[in-house]
């Protein structure tokens, strides 16, 4: 019988895989400091030197992510909730998604974006913390791959494809599948 893969463990393996590439940096919230999401724990195997912690400033984060990619890095931009990624839509839709076209092919940014659909358990966090905008993102973005990670078996291959792709990618993780316990509940 095949071993059932653990979602959280597979995310951690995927982050470790990405970190092996010298061009990859991790940028965003919860990269250096633990918070109330499983993101920090998923980076345990990533060297601290590859992590850039940012304050809550989503549009600035996407702008910095785009800038890093134009300098040859492959930033993994971390958003604790898909809901918060919506605050970076100007940079995402009007810039990252269109830079290659606007520059007549001169600039080809490559970014990997991680965002979580928040959990509604054990407490309902309110509608602004658990929305899933995957369909809307697929509809809005013409040059960015959008992948919803619905099971553990898809995680490592999806992140590997994102790393190998010539295009930017958004990978939507589902917090309910992490089976994660917040530090304040341990």
Residues 115-173 have pLDDT tens digits of 999 887 777 777 788 889 999 999 999 999 999 999 999 999 999 999 999 999 999 99
Token pair 């990405």 is found at 18
Sign of CA dihedral 42, 163, 108, 74: positive
Q: Convert 98-124 to b/e letters by CB count within 10 Å (16 or more is b).
A: ebbeeeeeeeebbbbbbbbbbbeeeee
Residues 32-86 have pLDDT tens digits of 888 767 888 899 999 999 999 999 999 999 999 999 999 999 999 999 999 999 9
What does pTM read for this prediction? 0.92
The pLDDT value recorded for residue 126 is: 76
Question: What is the C-alpha to C-alpha distance for residues 186 and 165, in angstroms, rounded to an integer?
Answer: 39
Task: Give CATH for domain 7-178.
Answer: 3.40.50.970
């Amino acid at each position: 019988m095949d071993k059932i893969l653990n979602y959280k463990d597979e995310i951690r393996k995927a982050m470790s895989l990405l970190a092996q590439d010298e061009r990859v940096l991790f940028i965003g919230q919860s990269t250096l400091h633990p918070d109330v999401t499983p993101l920090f724990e998923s980076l345990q195997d990533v060297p601290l030197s590859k992590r850039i912690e940012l304050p809550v400033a989503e549009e600035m984060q996407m702008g910095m992510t785009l800038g890093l990619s134009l300098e040859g890095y492959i930033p993994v931009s971390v958003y604790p909730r898909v809901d918060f990624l919506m605050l970076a839509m100007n940079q995402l839709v009007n810039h990252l998604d269109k830079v290659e076209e606007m520059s007549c092919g001169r600039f080809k940014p490559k970014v990997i974006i991680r965002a979580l659909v928040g959990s509604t358990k054990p407490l309902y966090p309110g509608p602004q913390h658990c929305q899933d905008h995957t369909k809307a993102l697929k509809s809005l973005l013409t040059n960015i791959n959008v992948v919803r990670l619905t099971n553990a078996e898809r995680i490592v291959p999806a992140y590997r494809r994102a790393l190998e792709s010539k295009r930017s990618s958004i990978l939507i993780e589902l917090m309910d599948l992490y089976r994660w316990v917040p530090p304040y509940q341990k």
